[in-house]
């Protein structure tokens, strides 16, 4: 049985879209927010913590944990604490390109690990205060890293995406499926396929 160690409805939707049979089990994990580690190492640590917290309880199942963060100038932007914090993040991101990093930790039955990391690059439109307020009025952002959702009204804020759009939403699901099939795993982060999406 495949277990998704994540409460994210976006990750659940991405797996379900591909016809994957899975169940969700979440256990408390000690996450860190140490920007000095760098995007890949920080996300990888947290993804692994989430997966292992569940795998210890279900050693005969395959457990998938994931962690997604928005990075601007090497600094992580997590979930905003309130709307003013969300405004601050959107002001920082507007008119600029940032990195979205997702690390995925896969724990197989018996404890074997197949972990990988994916990066995508998102360029925001230039936005004035009116545009920011419109977006915040239409999208609930307090549970989203970087204070935005790629899958909700992104045409209001996003100019283009280079890389996997699913990764920006929260799970590079096609690459995950290759890993679950046993295909080779590239250890380093990278833009796979170089896809570019514009609105």
**Three-state SS at 197:** strand
- Tokens 């896969």: give the residue: 106
The torsion defined by the Cα of 90, 71, 101 and 158, in degrees rounded to 10, comes to 30
The torsion defined by the Cα of 81, 83, 84 and 90, in degrees rounded to 10, comes to 100
The 3-class secondary structure across 144-173, one letter per residue, is CHHHCCCCCCHHHCEEEEECCHHHHHCCCH
Contacts of 9 (CB under 8 A, 6+ apart): none
**Has 34 been annotated as catalytic?**
no
CA distance 110 to 129: 52
Residue of 34, 67, 115, 128 marked active site: 67
Please give the positions annotated as active site: 67
């Amino acid at each position: 049985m495949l277990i998704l160690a994540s409460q994210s409805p976006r990750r659940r939707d991405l797996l379900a879209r591909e016809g994957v049979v899975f169940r969700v089990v979440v256990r408390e994990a000690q996450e860190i927010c140490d920007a000095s580690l760098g995007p890949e190492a920080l996300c990888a640590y947290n993804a692994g913590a989430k997966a292992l917290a569940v795998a210890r309880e279900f050693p005969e199942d395959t457990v998938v944990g994931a962690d997604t963060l928005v990075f601007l100038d090497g600094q992580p932007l997590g979930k905003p604490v309130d709307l003013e914090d969300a405004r601050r993040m959107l002001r920082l991101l507007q008119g600029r390109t940032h990195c979205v990093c997702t690390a995925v930790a896969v724990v197989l039955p018996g404890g074997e690990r197949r972990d990988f990391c994916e990066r995508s690059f998102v360029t925001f439109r230039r936005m004035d205060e009116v545009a920011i307020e419109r977006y915040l009025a239409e999208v609930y952002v307090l549970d989203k890293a970087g204070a935005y959702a790629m899958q909700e009204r992104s045409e209001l804020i996003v100019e283009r995406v280079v890389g996997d759009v699913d990764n920006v939403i929260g799970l590079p699901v096609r690459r995950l499926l290759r890993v679950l099939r046993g295909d080779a795993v590239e250890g380093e982060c990278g833009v796979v396929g170089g896809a570019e999406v514009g609105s």
